[in-house]
Amino acid sequence: MGARRWTARARGVRAAAAVVAALGLLATGCGGGSGSGDGKVTIRYSWWGAKDRAELIQKTVKLFEKEHPNIKVKTDFSEYTDFWSKFNTQAAGGNPPDVFQNSYAFLRKYGDKNLLLDLNGQAKAGNLSLKGFRNGLEKAGDIDGKLLGVPVGANTFALFYNPDAFKKAGVNVEAGWTWDDFFTAAKKVRRSDDALYGASDNANVMYLYDLYLRQNGKAFFTKDSKLGFTKDDLTEWWGRWQQHAKADELVPGKKSEQAKPKASISADLSASEFTWDNFLVRFAAETKTPLDLGPIPTTDGKRTGQYLSSLMLSGSARTQHPEEVAQFIDFMTHDPEVGKVMGYNRGIPATTSQYDAYRPQGVDAKIAAYEKSVSAKLEPITPHPAGADVAEAAFLRIYTQVALGQTSMGKAVDQFFNEAESALGS
């Protein structure tokens, strides 16, 4: 995910099996940008995100075009789910964008389909610098020796909470607190304010469950591309959240759905919610309620299971302009002015040049302080096999059906395992 999607909890996408199969069969020379009679090269750049991200990225594209007058960049953005649906359709038709926003969760899937440009060659040719990345992030996009993505920002999971509501309920958010402490806090907040639920129901967030599993010596995915937990494990996790939802302590499923595209916390329904720390930028634009970042609850009071994820830029294996794509990625990851424009919209900048150029203020300063506070606890990222995106989408969708009263717990767990194991080829 790191970083990982504008919403970690997006509804997800599933390309039809026939489409996915077709992706690997397309000729590597088709699709991508074009040349023009005036000697300019045109490349296409696509990303997902909200309107505020689009406005910032357009500014950075203008900076690039000014620096590289012979390269024109055509832009396109969508919400997370729509982005991948469009991408799959374009890729199946042999016309994917030359360069696009990506995340760790998708590298192996699309790398296995030969859709991603191995950027190692462009790095060796001097068109892309891999120096100056923070925290070893230059290797974040390395899959089986191929460089399939370059990070533009890094983030980690956090608890977002309304400090006024927690203070009113007499609850302190402190490092080392447990899941029991968290659910007790949600109950106290709900009892102290009839207009506000203690927490959003985040049982359907794959990345949060992954942290819980890691705290208990497991993980959502194993190294051999299988699910790393049992049906009993999932029943316990989903069941615990449902217990508190039925006690009226968590935002009901119907209200969460009605609040979209806002999150429950930015819609002022909830006093706390789990997601990637850089979402504070988005939430601050969606609500006037001040929000803080707090530590992830633990099982043993020590281990949070957290890791750094990142949003990345990947090139298409079908681009006709790999050199220009590499130059674009290099500019977007290293240019100091780009760092000043983007701030922490896509996470804390991945390179020292952009990190040093931007002086965080307001919500960005909170994100920087939070990541500094948890830096010593960070661990290696969980492997994301091909099919991870389908498993994530199923996890989100199927629990949402439980929360809406549309299916039973037993059927939901069985359905998830059937869909996820099929996607993973288990």
Alpha-carbon distance values, 415 to 1, 375, 399, 404 (Å): 25, 37, 10, 16
pLDDT digits (tens, 9 = 90+) for 317-360: 999 999 999 999 999 999 999 999 999 999 899 999 999 999 99
All residue ranges of the chain with pLDDT < 50 are 1-31
Region class of 359: left (phi > 0), else alpha (psi between -120 and 50), else beta: beta
The predicted-structure confidence for 244-264, as pLDDT tens digits, reads as follows: 999 999 999 999 999 998 999
Q: What is the pLDDT of residue 125?
A: 97
Predicted local confidence at residue 52, as pLDDT: 87
pLDDT digits (tens, 9 = 90+) for 355-411: 999 999 999 999 999 999 998 989 988 888 989 989 999 999 999 999 999 999 999
Peptide bond into 261 cis (omega under 30): yes
Contact 239, 255 (CB under 8 A): no
What is the structure's pLDDT at 80? 84
Helix or strand or coil: residue 200? coil
Q: Which pLDDT does position 35 carry in this prediction?
A: 60
pLDDT of residue 426: 66
Check residue 34 and give its pLDDT.
61
Spatial neighbors of 94 by CB under 8 A, at least 6 apart, are: 26, 27, 30, 31, 318
Residues of the chain with CATH 3.40.190.10: 31-154+317-375, 157-306+384-424
Rounded to 5 degrees, φ, ψ at 150 are -125, 125
pTM of the predicted model, to two decimals? 0.82
Please report the pLDDT score of residue 104 as a whole number.
87
Tell me, which fold does domain 31-154+317-375 have in CATH? Answer: D-Maltodextrin-Binding Protein; domain 2 (3.40.190)
Q: What is the C-alpha separation between 321 and 302, in angstroms, rounded?
A: 49
Tokens for 237? 């996790």
β-pairing, 41-48 vs 71-78, is parallel
DSSP for residue 297: P
Q: How far apart are the first and last CA of the chain?
A: 23
Quick one: fold of 157-306+384-424? Answer: D-Maltodextrin-Binding Protein; domain 2 (3.40.190)
Give the separation between CA 100 and CA 361, rounded to whole angstroms: 28
Q: For residues 117 and 323, give the distance between their C-alpha atoms in angstroms, rounded to a whole number.
A: 11
Non-local CB neighbours of 345 within 8 Å, separated by 6+ positions: 49, 52, 53, 56, 153, 278, 281
